[in-house]
């Protein structure tokens, strides 16, 4: 979407607070908790993220992703993801920090520990460590090396995703096949709408 969001000033203020948190405190779980609080605050404005401005996926597609904001250097990228029931994203890392906060709908995040040492290319064994349910008023914060999978069970969800680097620049993310015990570079997925 090429036009600025009607609440761009408030969005930019929240992103500036997020930027200051990371620059001042460094990247760690505590600083990401602060980032997540800002993102949950943005997500709390449900009326900002409606289908009138951000339509759901077309036809049989299960996901529509919108770029809301990013820095000139592709940092501090904010997206709105609209996903339909049945959408699943395989276990993957991000290679940058990530926070997800729900506007509406429930997303199950399956969090994994990697149990192999990564020494054999293409091999990747995981063990489920947690399930984090992301629903309005909550979210999840992920360090660059954290691994999670996503499953949508609601009819349609709208969630904000904030990344340290824009998804379109993340060409080293690894996706895992749990059954085969393998891993490979993960494609970007759906095309981002601007």
pLDDT at 16: 97
Return d(Cα 173, Cα 9) in angstroms, integer: 32
Contact 139, 43 (CB under 8 A): yes
Q: How many residues does the chain have?
A: 194
Which structure tokens are listed for 52?
Answer: 């009138």
DSSP string, 163-193: EEE-GGG----EEEETTTTEEEEPP--SPEE
Arithmetic mean of pLDDT, 49-77: 96
pLDDT digits (tens, 9 = 90+) for 104-160: 999 999 999 999 999 999 999 999 999 999 999 999 999 999 999 999 988 999 999
CA 138 to CA 117: how far, in whole Å? 32
């Amino acid at each position: 979407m090429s036009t600025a969001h009607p609440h761009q000033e408030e969005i930019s203020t929240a992103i500036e607070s997020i930027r200051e948190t990371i620059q001042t405190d460094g990247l760690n779980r505590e600083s990401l908790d602060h980032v997540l609080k800002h993102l949950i605050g943005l997500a709390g404005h449900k009326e900002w993220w409606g289908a009138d401005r951000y339509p759901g996926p077309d036809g049989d597609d299960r996901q529509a992703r919108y770029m809301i904001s990013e820095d000139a250097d592709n940092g501090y990228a904010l997206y709105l993801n609209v996903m339909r029931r049945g959408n699943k994203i395989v276990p993957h890392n991000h290679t940058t920090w990530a926070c997800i906060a729900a506007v509406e709908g429930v997303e199950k995040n399956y969090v994994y520990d990697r149990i192999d040492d990564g020494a054999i290319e293409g091999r990747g064994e995981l063990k489920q460590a947690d399930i984090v349910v992301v629903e309005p008023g909550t979210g999840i914060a992920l360090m660059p090396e954290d691994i999670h999978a996503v499953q949508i069970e609601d009819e349609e969800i709208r969630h904000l995703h904030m990344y340290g680097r824009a998804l379109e620049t993340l060409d080293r993310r690894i996706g895992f096949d749990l059954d085969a015990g393998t891993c490979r570079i993960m494609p970007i997925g759906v095309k981002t709408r601007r």
